[in-house]
């Protein structure tokens, strides 16, 4: 059965998202800003601003990854497939147990924000998580404490698996993959959006 115009539109929309380069991060910020009615930050240290019940500002950071299927190598037998499908060869959310799934949430600087929205753009939906430092108290209280205290690092990783320093030894990162995704879904899940809902979020009149 041929695809409808709406189905073709959604396929084009999804393919465009997975083909985005550096402005993918801007897309994720816009999604969170519109979905949760936040404000754009004029401070370059963090992305957005939320307001608490007393109208006090809460600095918000946004970090998302795309669930690409990355082949280990390219050769004569797969070169045409890889080049023809590089923007659409994506894990679905039901394939989260694949040992090859690896989404990295990087350049995390918890000293600069109090709430982190993060997640994964899957083939079939966008999955959103949120860690609120005022509620969860999980991020390192200082870089020196994290570096020097192994037991402290282990305690953090019990709640945020695969939480590490990046190579620059200043910023943090954590991995969303088979060994950690269940933990994030159990403790930090916010909601999921279909691509139709995401499209409607941006196309809706103000």
Distance of CA 191 to CAs 38, 122, 175, Å? 16, 13, 19
Asked if the structure places residue 72 within a domain, the reply is yes
Q: What is the pLDDT of residue 87?
A: 55
Is pTM beyond 0.85? Reply is yes
Q: Side by side, which strands form the sheet with 48-51?
A: 39-40, 48-51, 57-66, 115-121, 126-132, 189-193
Q: What is the mean pLDDT of residues 109-127?
A: 97
Alpha helices in 37-166 (DSSP H): 79-85, 133-136, 143-148, 150-159
Asked if the structure places residue 142 within a domain, the reply is no
Asked if the structure places residue 149 within a domain, the reply is no
Asked if the structure places residue 172 within a domain, the reply is no
Residues 6+ apart with CB under 8 A from 30: 202
Is the pLDDT at 83 greater than 80? The verdict is no
Whether the Cβ atoms of residue 85 and residue 151 lie closer than 8 Å to each other = no
Q: What is the pLDDT of residue 86?
A: 59
Separation between Cα atoms, residue 110 and residue 119, nearest integer Å: 17
pLDDT tier for residue 88 given thresholds of 50, 70 and 90: low
Q: What is the Cα 177 distance to its own chain's centre?
A: 12
Is the pLDDT at 74 greater than 90? The verdict is no
Asked if the structure places residue 73 within a domain, the reply is yes
Parent domain of 65: 5-100+109-135+178-201
- Cross-strand bridge partners of residue 121: 66, 126
Asked if the structure places residue 141 within a domain, the reply is no
Q: What is the mean pLDDT of residues 145-172?
A: 96
Residue 49 phi, psi dihedral angles, 5° rounding: -130, 130
Asked if the structure places residue 87 within a domain, the reply is yes
- Taking only the tens place, the pLDDT of each residue in 185-195 is 999 999 999 99
DSSP string covering 178-206: TTTHHHHHHHSEEEEE-HHHHHHHHHS--
Asked if the structure places residue 113 within a domain, the reply is yes
Total of domains in the chain? 1
DSSP-assigned letter for residue 157: H
């Amino acid at each position: 059965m041929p695809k409808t115009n709406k189905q073709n539109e959604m396929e084009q929309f999804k393919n465009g998202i997975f083909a985005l380069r550096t402005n993918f991060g801007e897309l994720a910020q816009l999604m969170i800003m519109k979905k949760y009615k936040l404000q754009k930050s004029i401070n370059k240290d963090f992305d957005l601003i939320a307001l608490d019940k007393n109208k006090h500002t809460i600095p918000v950071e946004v970090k998302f990854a795309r669930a690409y299927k990355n082949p280990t190598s390219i050769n004569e037998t797969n070169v045409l497939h890889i080049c023809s499908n590089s923007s659409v060869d994506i894990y679905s959310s039901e394939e989260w147990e694949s040992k090859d799934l690896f989404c990295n949430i990087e350049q995390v600087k918890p000293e600069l924000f109090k709430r982190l929205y993060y997640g994964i753009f899957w083939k079939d939906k966008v999955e959103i998580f949120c860690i609120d430092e005022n509620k969860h108290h999980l991020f390192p209280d200082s870089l020196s404490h994290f570096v020097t205290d192994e037991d402290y690092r282990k305690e953090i990783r019990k709640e945020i698996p695969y939480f590490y320093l990046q190579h620059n030894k200043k910023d943090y990162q954590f991995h969303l993959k088979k060994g950690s995704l269940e933990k994030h879904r159990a403790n930090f899940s916010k909601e999921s959006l279909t691509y139709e809902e995401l499209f409607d979020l941006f196309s809706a009149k103000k």
